[in-house]
Amino acid sequence: MTESSQEEILELIWTIDEEKGEVERDSLIKKIRLPSAEQILNTLIHEEYVTISDSKVALTKKGLADARVIIRRHRLAERLLHDVLDVKEDAMDSSACKFEHILDEEVTASICTLLGHPVTCPHGKAIPPGECCEKANKEIRPVVMPLSDLKSGDEAKIAYIVTKYHGRLDRLSSMGLLPGVQIHLHQRQPTYVIQMGETQIALDTAIARDIYVRLL
């Protein structure tokens, strides 16, 4: 297994690649901000985590698998801190960085289950799914879950909204359906009807799946 500084670099390569689609060697070295950056990178190349061609850095299959695990832990940690522990944004980042090195596979899976197998981090970036997500057991009710999994009569607070569609997000938010708002699920059939304050709102399944709530 890699050391934590190596883990940080793998994580960095993943993030840059996710944002820009490619990783320049020189800009990577600059971003590492460690005196031994070159050296660690060479170790990674030597141990076949990373390859370099045309001064572009890429993860090998082995490196990719490791980076994926680290990213997953980091972003799950962020979700945990943000949604459940209600930690402020600045503190969240630094704590999540420490978390990612100490979590083992089992604890990660438990956190993931607890959070209801979230798909994105609080910044909106994708969380790579783990084994537990695929096996997600519907019978155990996680703390945070899509609105579509609530039973009618449940009270819940909106935790976050994840959707591919801008328009949907705008429509929900202009109606006042935003994180932190308390809702009551009135009925599930024929369509979902929720009560928010004194307003009753009908919405269809596709939208209900995008609204993640914390059961009260």
Residues that bind other proteins (CB under 8 A): 120-125, 161, 165-176, 178-180, 186-191, 193, 197-204, 206-207
Q: Between residues 68 and 186, which has the closer beta carbon with respect to other proteins?
A: 186
Q: Which long-range contacts (CB under 8 A, 24 or more apart) does 49-56 make?
A: 49/2, 49/6, 49/10, 50/10, 50/13, 52/25, 55/24, 55/25, 55/26, 56/22, 56/23, 56/24, 56/25
DSSP 173-207: HHTT--TT-EEEEEE-SSSEEEEETTEEEEE-HHH
Q: Between residues 31 and 125, which has the closer beta carbon with respect to other proteins?
A: 125
Tell me the closest approach of the beta carbon of residue 208 to other proteins, in angstroms: 10
Q: Between residues 4 and 152, which has the closer beta carbon with respect to other proteins?
A: 152
Tell me the closest approach of the beta carbon of residue 193 to other proteins, in angstroms: 6
Within the chain, how many helices (H) and strands (E) appear?
A: 9, 8
Q: Report which secondary-structure segment, H or E, holds 159.
A: strand 155-161
Tell me the closest approach of the beta carbon of residue 190 to other proteins, in angstroms: 5
Tell me the closest approach of the beta carbon of residue 204 to other proteins, in angstroms: 4
Q: Between residues 129 and 179, which has the closer beta carbon with respect to other proteins?
A: 179
